[in-house]
């Protein structure tokens, strides 16, 4: 009887491992793109990127869906390329260790190790977590040639990047607090 119990336990363990091994293959080409439903809704936690055939799986929603999920300021900044007032956000003076994720979709965008005090009143970083999580777009509005920074997964507006940052990159990613959520580590 004891042997049978052990055998059943082993079988149960084996069964329990099946979902884990499936999860480990997430992001491989065989994974269905429908798994993007896991990213639905606003999140303040990390939602790792998924890749299909080497391409980042995007999050696409219409304007009404974003309006339902975001508050007014988030919608204005993330979806309408607005800018929060300097020194009003909750993250410009954050010095904790952690990951800054897109407030629209949870994609990890910046790490606390690359954050620096720019004196601008906006969270500032000298580089993103990875180049493929950020989309750079030339922005000629307001009579300036600036480079807009977007989340590469949901297209949410983050801020702008300027060539006056500290070493090692010399770049200053000037990001709206409201476009980011902070995940403490």
Question: Would you say 77 or 107 has its CB closer to Zn ion?
Answer: 107
Contact between 102 and Zn ion by CB under 5 A: the answer reads: yes
Q: Which H/E stretch holds residue 108?
A: strand 108-111
Token reading at 54:
């080497």
Stretch that binds Zn ion, among 43-51, 84-92, 99-107, 173-181 (CB under 5 A): 99-107
String of b and e for 50-71 (b: at least 16 CB within 10 Å)? beeeeebeebebeeeebeebbe
Question: Would you say 104 or 165 has its CB closer to Zn ion?
Answer: 104
Count of positions on this chain that bind Zn ion (CB under 5 A)? 8
Stretch that binds Zn ion, among 11-19, 117-125, 155-163, 169-177 (CB under 5 A): 155-163
Token reading at 140:
């000629």
Cα(131)–Cα(54) distance, integer angstroms: 14
CB distance 99 to 108 below 8 Å: yes
Q: Which of 89, 108, 123, 156 binds Zn ion (CB under 5 A)?
A: 156
Residues taking part in catalysis: 174
Which residues here bind Zn ion, judged by CB under 5 A? 102, 104-105, 107, 151, 153-154, 156
């Amino acid at each position: 009887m004891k042997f049978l119990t052990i055998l059943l336990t082993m079988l149960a363990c084996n069964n329990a491992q099946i979902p884990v091994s499936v999860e480990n293959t997430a992001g491989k080409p065989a994974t269905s793109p429908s798994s993007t439903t896991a990213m639905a809704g606003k999140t303040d936690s990390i939602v790792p990127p998924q890749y299909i055939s080497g391409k980042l799986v995007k999050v696409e929603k219409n304007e009404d869906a974003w309006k339902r999920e975001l508050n007014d300021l988030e919608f204005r900044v993330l979806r309408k390329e607005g800018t929060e007032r300097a020194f009003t956000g909750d993250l410009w003076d954050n010095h904790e260790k952690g990951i800054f994720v897109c407030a629209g979709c949870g994609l990890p965008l910046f790490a606390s190790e690359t954050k620096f005090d720019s004196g601008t009143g906006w969270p500032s970083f000298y580089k993103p977590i990875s180049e493929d999580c950020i989309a750079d777009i030339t922005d000629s509005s307001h009579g300036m040639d600036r480079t807009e920074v977007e989340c590469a997964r949901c297209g949410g507006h983050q801020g702008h990047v300027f060539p006056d940052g500290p070493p090692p990159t010399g770049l200053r990613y000037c990001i709206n607090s409201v476009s980011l959520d902070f995940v403490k580590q």
